[in-house]
Amino acid sequence: MEVTMDPLFLAVSYFRRRKLQQCSDICGKILQDNPYDQAAWSLKTRALTEMVYIDEVDVDQEGIAEMMLDESSIAQVARPGTSLRLPGTSHGGGPTPAVRPMTQSGRPITGFVRPSTQSGRPGTMEQAIKTPRTASTARPVTSSSGRFIRLGTASMLTNPEGPFINLSRINLSKYSKKPCLSRTLFEYIFHHENDVKTALDLAAQATEHAQFKDWWWKVQLGKCYYRLGLYREAEKQFRSALNQQEVVDTYLYLTKVYQRLDQPITALNLFKQGLDHFPGEVTLLTGIARIHEEMNNIPSATEYYKEVLKQDNTHVEAIACIGSNHFYTDQPEIALRFYRRLLQMGVYNCQLYNNLGLCCFYAQQYDMTLSSFERALALVASDEEQADVWYNVGHVAVGIGDLMLAYQCFKLTLAFNNDHAEAYNNLAVLELRKGHIEQSKAFLQTAASLAPHMYEPYFNLSILCEKDGSYGPTRQAGFCKQLQQHFAVL
């Protein structure tokens, strides 16, 4: 005789093992039999939430609207070292952009791609709406659409028969009085349905019901306000929650608010305050390091990443960032160590092999260089990655003097990524060596138009034009002026 397990218990067990789809199916069956089973209802909302759950702390990308239509900015030019919006102000110590490549916004390229590392703030509207090269998608219009829509609209794509909970019909005030249901419902609304306004209503009623004594609801309110772009209100809620209960998450949310308000110094102070209560907390340390990195203060960022590694020696971001910093400060052999460590930890992807190949080349471990690139080529997941690998192989080819191979590699880079400005620039130099001046000039112009933040194409083009005797384009496009500005910044 077969003993059937209690379906709810089975569902809980599935949930614990993160077999969320099965859990949701079983809960659905239970609810069909008994629509008023609160346990099953609650479990199903949790399972559905978990399916699309993303860490609210990490995922954050500033949209065009926030950047271009910023209401809270007061001074157009902030004092150096107090703003995230002035990437040019270096604190010294780090390598110059001539050594370490920069992103479009003028920040040095980091070792670890996070949503906010790619872009920074563009200078013009046109730059803002252009598709950036490093991200394969365009920037979201506002942070309340974009990425969150894509991540949070599971219901739209997967549930053809309609949503599990019909939000328009739900009686929020009834649910807000049931603490055991209201929280799961809130998370469902916030993460799964991505309906921030309804979530805010629910949170407001629930916190009122809890007589403003529940820090959790305050944090949720703050999250809602943050999503809606009401940063000052969010700050108030998070501050109040912190007064009630010291939680690491709350610190992180609050620093996010301050970063959005462009107050990196306040954010840093808050992180340090958090570290007093939670000494050695990895997420707080990482946060400090990230802010330092965004403010171009690479040496102190590296210090904090090292601190992170002391607490958690498998922290991928810290290892990658320290590794890339060593690479760009002329110590490829140490960078190699860090990347090997990543490999030992089981990170196995194209980018890592790509970096390993470059480190091996510059650390003169030639026997491993090309095999690393071969592996990277075997592991590519997208055209962009393939383009990057070919670009690096091209660099190695230039290094060993095989210009034919280099030419092919840069051409391949462009075949896979039409907007690779660096490859255009290098190809132009190779074309010039062959004596194809017109082609070379065309490539340099393309590189300059694709990547206005790079100074190399301007430099090469002005030299070419000078040799050529045609001063027109150099002056016309204001290349000289731009060059001067570029060098003044360095």
Q: Which stretch binds another protein (CB under 8 A): 82-90, 109-117, 255-263, 357-365?
A: 357-365
Q: Are 30 and 38 a contacting pair, CB within 8 Å?
A: no
Q: Which of 104, 143, 237, 446 binds another protein (CB under 8 A)?
A: 446
Q: Which of 165, 202, 247, 363 binds another protein (CB under 8 A)?
A: 363
Q: Are 385 and 136 a contacting pair, CB within 8 Å?
A: no
Q: Which of 5, 98, 141, 345 binds another protein (CB under 8 A)?
A: 141
Per the structure block, which two tokens stand in for 332?
A: 């490829």
Interface residues for another protein in 35-94 (CB under 8 A)? 64
State which residue, 167 or 377, has the beta carbon closest to another protein: 377
Site map 325..344 versus another protein, x via CB under 8 A: ----xxx-xx--x-------
Helix (H, G, I), strand (E, B) or coil at 108: strand
Q: What stretch of H or E contains 196? A: helix 196-209
Q: Which of 369, 392, 426, 462 binds another protein (CB under 8 A)?
A: 369
Q: Which stretch binds another protein (CB under 8 A): 123-131, 234-242, 260-268, 343-351?
A: 123-131
State which residue, 270 or 336, has the beta carbon closest to another protein: 336
Q: Which stretch binds another protein (CB under 8 A): 114-122, 173-181, 241-249, 403-411?
A: 403-411
Per the structure block, which two tokens stand in for 423?
A: 């490859």
Q: Is 146 in the site for another protein (CB under 8 A)?
A: yes
Residue 41 and residue 44: Cα distance in Å, rounded? 5
State which residue, 156 or 265, has the beta carbon closest to another protein: 156
Instruction: Give Cα separations from 138 to 17, 112, 133, 258 (angstroms).
Output: 36, 19, 9, 25
Query: Phi then psi for 55, rounded to 5 degrees?
Result: -70, 110
Residue 86 and residue 476: Cα distance in Å, rounded? 28
Q: Is 155 in the site for another protein (CB under 8 A)?
A: no
Closest to 249 (Cα-Cα) out of 199, 210, 284, 296: 284
Instruction: Give Cα separations from 142 to 64, 130, 149, 230, 308 (angstroms).
Output: 6, 15, 11, 13, 32
Residue ranges in contact with another protein by CB under 8 A: 64, 126, 129-131, 136-138, 140-141, 145-146, 149-150, 153, 156-157, 329-331, 333-334, 337, 363-367, 369-371, 373-374, 377, 383, 390, 393, 400, 402, 405, 408-409, 411-412, 414-415, 418-419, 427, 436-439, 441-443, 445-446, 449-450
